[in-house]
Amino acid sequence: MYREYDESLHVISEMQQAGTSIFKLDDMEFGRRFAVEKELEKSNQARFVNAVFDETGNFIIYGALLGIKVVNVKTNKVARVIGKSESNRFVNVGLYQGAPKKKGVYTLAMAASDNAALKESQELDPTLFCTAFNKNRFYMMTRREPFDNAQKGERDVFNEKPSREEQTVAATQERKQVLGTSAILRTTSGDIHMRLFPDAAPKAVENFVTHAKNGYYDNLIFHRIIKGFMIQTGCPFGDGTGGESIWGDDFEDEFSREFKHDRPYTVSMANAGPNTNGSQFFITVAPATWLDNKHSVFGRVTAGMDVVHGIENAKVDKTNKPYDDIKIINIEIR
């Protein structure tokens, strides 16, 4: 038997456009993953991409743009995509399908009991061990449900020592100049008051504040509005294709465990993929947790929510651009 599976960028792009992919991503998420895929292809980490068979030899497992694919080579169909909602691009995978060898005393009383934890400990638990692009850790995926106490904290365990780069960033944050903690976005529809998060996203706040003080955002329109999702602005061309940072180049993402897209009125940077922040930003009108660890949150609306919803309800064309311009008059930093 001979099988060939094409995961090249042009094939993936054609399937996304034609709607023939296993599942269709929204354009923003697909653009982010596409950019990561291009970056992976150019890096030396591409040599670690692999594929493994399960113990039956019927399934081949490998990391791809959509997630970790499990392909049945007998039926020639994708049986499952694991981790499709994760933001990581998984690279190297290893599969463990053995049974636990170390067993304690197993009494008749234990066998007759209805102890779910005990039964689970005796069952087979296939586990995928994965590495991810640009991550200094590995990930394990199983069929087990999370423990009850997982709700008390994050599922990720941060136990590795910070890298030299991370230590440098931390030191830079400590030395940073206080730029401002709040802003008033004055628009043709009314004022929107925002609280800024310079500790969580120092570069995004510095970029926003400096642009605001220099009048960069004055007279720019809200060029993209999606009802029930968000309102977006900050493009000097008014079509979402332009804008640059105060440094002239794109700047890196800044993700926080404290501030996420878990509520409406979150202010976040728009981008075209990892580390491509410029001048555009958006305000959500509903929780959008799928944007976590993909877009940098740097503020929240504290007043003027009615103005946000007024802009959200503007009539738009098929490209989500309002028929009537809604402009930023100016932005006051406090």
Nearest to 280 by CA among 227, 236, 215, 248: 236
- Read off the pLDDT of residues 205-258 as tens digits, 9 standing for 90 and up: 999 999 999 999 999 999 999 999 999 999 999 999 999 999 999 999 999 999
Instruction: Assess whether 76 carries a catalytic annotation.
Output: no
pLDDT score of 201: 95
- From the candidates 30, 133, 197, 282, give the one annotated as an active-site residue: 282
- Read off the pLDDT of residues 167-213 as tens digits, 9 standing for 90 and up: 766 665 554 555 789 999 999 999 999 999 999 999 999 999 999 99
Instruction: Assess whether 138 carries a catalytic annotation.
Output: no
- From the candidates 229, 259, 281, 298, give the one annotated as an active-site residue: 229
- The distance in angstroms from the start CA to the end CA of the chain is 68
Say if residues 195 and 172 touch (Cβ distance below 8 Å).
no
Residue 247 CB coordination number (10 Å): 12
- From the candidates 65, 185, 196, 291, give the one annotated as an active-site residue: 291
Q: Report the mean per-residue pLDDT for the chain.
A: 88
pLDDT score of 68: 94
Which range is most confident: 25-34, 136-145, 191-200?
A: 191-200
pLDDT, average across residues 302-306: 97
- From the candidates 32, 89, 224, 261, give the one annotated as an active-site residue: 224
DSSP secondary-structure letter at 199?
Answer: T
Instruction: Assess whether 223 carries a catalytic annotation.
Output: no
More confident residue, 265 or 108: 265
More confident residue, 191 or 86: 191
- From the candidates 232, 280, 281, 300, give the one annotated as an active-site residue: 232
Instruction: Assess whether 295 carries a catalytic annotation.
Output: yes
Instruction: Assess whether 196 carries a catalytic annotation.
Output: no
pLDDT band at residue 324, thresholds of 50, 70 and 90? very high
pLDDT score of 311: 98
- Read off the pLDDT of residues 46-73 as tens digits, 9 standing for 90 and up: 899 999 999 999 999 999 999 999 999 9
pLDDT band at residue 98, thresholds of 50, 70 and 90? confident
pLDDT score of 164: 72
Within 8 A by CB and 6+ apart from 127, the residues are 95, 96, 140, 141, 142
- From the candidates 16, 88, 92, 271, give the one annotated as an active-site residue: 271
Indicate the domain borders of the chain. 9-145, 176-333
Distance CA 265, CA 66 (A): 29
Topology of the domain comprising 176-333 = Cyclophilin (2.40.100)
pLDDT score of 175: 45
More confident residue, 27 or 280: 280
Instruction: Assess whether 291 carries a catalytic annotation.
Output: yes
Instruction: Assess whether 10 carries a catalytic annotation.
Output: no
Distances 277 to 121, 172, 223, 270, 294 between C-alpha atoms, Å: 46, 19, 17, 7, 11
- From the candidates 16, 295, 298, 300, give the one annotated as an active-site residue: 295
